Amino acid sequence: MDNAFKTLIYEKTEEGIAYVTLNRPGALNAYNIQMRDDLYEVLRAIRDDDEVRAVIFKGSGEKAFCAGADLEEFLTAPSPTVARRVRFDRDVWGLFLSLPQPLIAALHGYVLGSGIEMALCCDIRIASDDSKFGLPEMGLGIIPAAGGTQTLPRTIGRSRAMEMLLTNRWISGEEAYLFQLVNRVVPRDQLLPTARDMARRIASQDPKAVRFAKEAVNRGLDLSLSEGLRLERALFLRLTRGRNQEGTDHRTTREA
Ligand code: COA
């Protein structure tokens, strides 16, 4: 499926690392309906591809990971057709958040609106030292609609999220690091190598254990501690039972 998309580039390496590049550099990779459809397709393909062990999301061009929703489309097509509506109802963000593989966002330049929201759907965020993060939705009389009002406070805490959201204050990569919005800030030329090293480390672990660990953390965050501990135990048993079962099956096959 390499490069079958109008707004994305999809690549997969032999070591099981997939790259999704937002590819509308002339519009600072703004998120439009076509990108939503492309993302939906690529995320489904990743979800169903066991060869993919880790995914890196990045933006093409010098200036931005993503400058938010496409304002031209937003301003010129306020009343979508029925067909568009159907596509609009695709739950891209639910799909994004439910992917079993670890997702890494490599963020440079402007990371605005849906750009931050995409990054927040990822498990690990690396920023370059030229990055700028902001939620300009208030200025347009709207609120984030790709999960940002939920994922941002869960990541950086309520008051910091409120400040970013309600005042439209943009923050630098360094400040994003202090807010714990990103895991690391690196020089621009180190952004992809850092993301790639991290993806390689993940890809070198047991893939099933990696998926179970991601599920335990993400599902557990919505639970009380005691429920979370029960979830962890259930996943641990499922993982190890599955292994014992595989061992038994293996022995049986060899002995037969
Ligand atoms: N939707 C559509 N096109 C966009 C865009 C967006 N969200 N953001 C930038 N672009 C386009 C510009 O129209 C411009 O196109 P052009 O070269 O054909 O004129 C191109 O990307 C470069 O942007 P420009 O504004 O010239 O770059 P800049 O460095 O001067 O400013 C920003 C960068 C990000 C500060 C500015 O583009 C901006 O404020 N964008 C809108 C951000 C926003 O409100 N997003 C919506 C969030 S809900």
d(Cα 156, Cα 165) in Å, to the nearest integer? 12
- Whether 51 is a known active-site residue: answer no
Reported pTM:
0.92
H helical segments located in 48-185:
71-76, 82-88, 92-98, 114-120, 148-156, 158-167, 173-178
d(Cα 86, Cα 201) in Å, to the nearest integer? 39
List of residues 6+ apart from 191 with CB closer than 8 A: 58, 106, 107, 108, 126, 127, 128
CA of 222 relative to ligand 1 center, distance in Å: 36
CATH superfamily, domain 8-203, is 2-enoyl-CoA Hydratase; Chain A, domain 1 (3.90.226.10)
Nearest atom (ligand 1) to Cα of 112: 47
Residue 255 has pLDDT above 50, yes or no: no
HSE-up of residue 127 (Cα within 13 Å, Cβ side): 28
d(Cα 215, Cα 221) in Å, to the nearest integer? 10
Provide the pLDDT for residue 253: 35
Q: How many residues does the chain have?
A: 256
d(Cα 33, Cα 90) in Å, to the nearest integer? 11
Q: Where do the domains of the chain lie?
A: 8-203, 207-255
Pick the residue with more confidence: 78 or 97?
A: 97
Provide the pLDDT for residue 77: 57
List of residues 6+ apart from 160 with CB closer than 8 A: 179
Tell me which residue has its CA closest to atom 34 in ligand 1: 67
Nearest atom (ligand 1) to Cα of 70: 1
C-beta of residue 51 within 8 angstroms of C-beta of residue 38: no
pLDDT in tens, 32-73: 999 999 999 999 999 999 999 999 999 999 999 999 999 998
**Average pLDDT score over residue span 68-91:** 67
Tell me which residue has its CA closest to atom 30 in ligand 1: 63
CA of 138 relative to ligand 1 center, distance in Å: 16
- DSSP E strand boundaries for the chain: 8-12, 17-22, 54-59, 64-67, 103-107, 110-112, 124-128, 132-134, 171-172, 184-186
pLDDT in tens, 236-246: 999 999 777 77
Tell me which residue has its CA closest to atom 17 in ligand 1: 26
- Site residues for ligand 1, CB cut-off 6 Å: 27-28, 30, 67-72, 110, 112-113, 136-137, 140
* Residue among 51, 57, 44 at smallest CA distance from 16: 51
pLDDT band at residue 20 under the 50/70/90 scheme:
very high
pLDDT band at residue 87 under the 50/70/90 scheme:
low
- Whether 255 is a known active-site residue: answer no
CA of 29 relative to ligand 1 center, distance in Å: 9
At 44, which amino acid appears?
R
Q: What is the three-class DSSP state of 135? A: coil
CA of 134 relative to ligand 1 center, distance in Å: 13
pLDDT band at residue 85 under the 50/70/90 scheme:
low
Provide the pLDDT for residue 26: 98
Nearest atom (ligand 1) to Cα of 64: 34
Residue 250 has pLDDT above 50, yes or no: no
